[in-house]
Amino acid sequence: MDTAPFLVEIENPEPGTTRLTLSGDFDYTTSGDLATLSPTLMNSDLRTLEIDLTGVSFIDSSGLATLIHLYHAAEEHPAEMRFVGMTPYIAHLFEVTALDLVFNLPTSAT
C-alpha cells in the first residue's frame, strides 16, 4: 500500500501566529516529524498556533496523539491552538473520538 508523503509547511501569517499546514499521511511513521517541532514552535511571542489539516489524507492514533501533545504544549506556553482547515473525514474522526469537544475547530467542520 502506497502512502502519501507527509509534509509540514510552517508560516507566520501575522506577528504572534504560527500556521502549520499538514499534508499527506499523518501516522505512526510520520507523527514524530511534527512532534520534534513542538519545542521550536513554542517561541516567546507565540500567541496562536493554527493547524490546517485540509491536505491530510489519513490520520491514525499516533497522529491524533501528536495533535493532543501540541495542544497541551500550546496550553502550557500559553497560546491558543486552533484548526483553520480540515476535511469532512478529519472532522468526523474528531467527532467519533470526542476531540471536537477539546479542540477549537472551524465552524465549517462541525
Q: Which helix (H) or strand (E) holds 68?
A: helix 61-76
Work out how many domains the chain is built from and give that number.
Answer: 1
* pLDDT means over runs of 10, the chain (110 residues): 84 95 95 88 91 96 96 94 94 95 77
Are 70 and 38 spatial neighbours (Cβ–Cβ below 8 Å)? yes
**Does some domain include residue 40?**
yes
**Does some domain include residue 95?**
yes
The structure's pTM equals 0.90
C-alpha cell of 3? 502512502
* Dihedral sign computed on CA atoms, order 10, 35, 70, 103: positive
Q: Tell me, what CATH number does 15's domain have?
A: 3.30.750.24
Full residue range of the structural domain in which residue 36 is found: 7-109
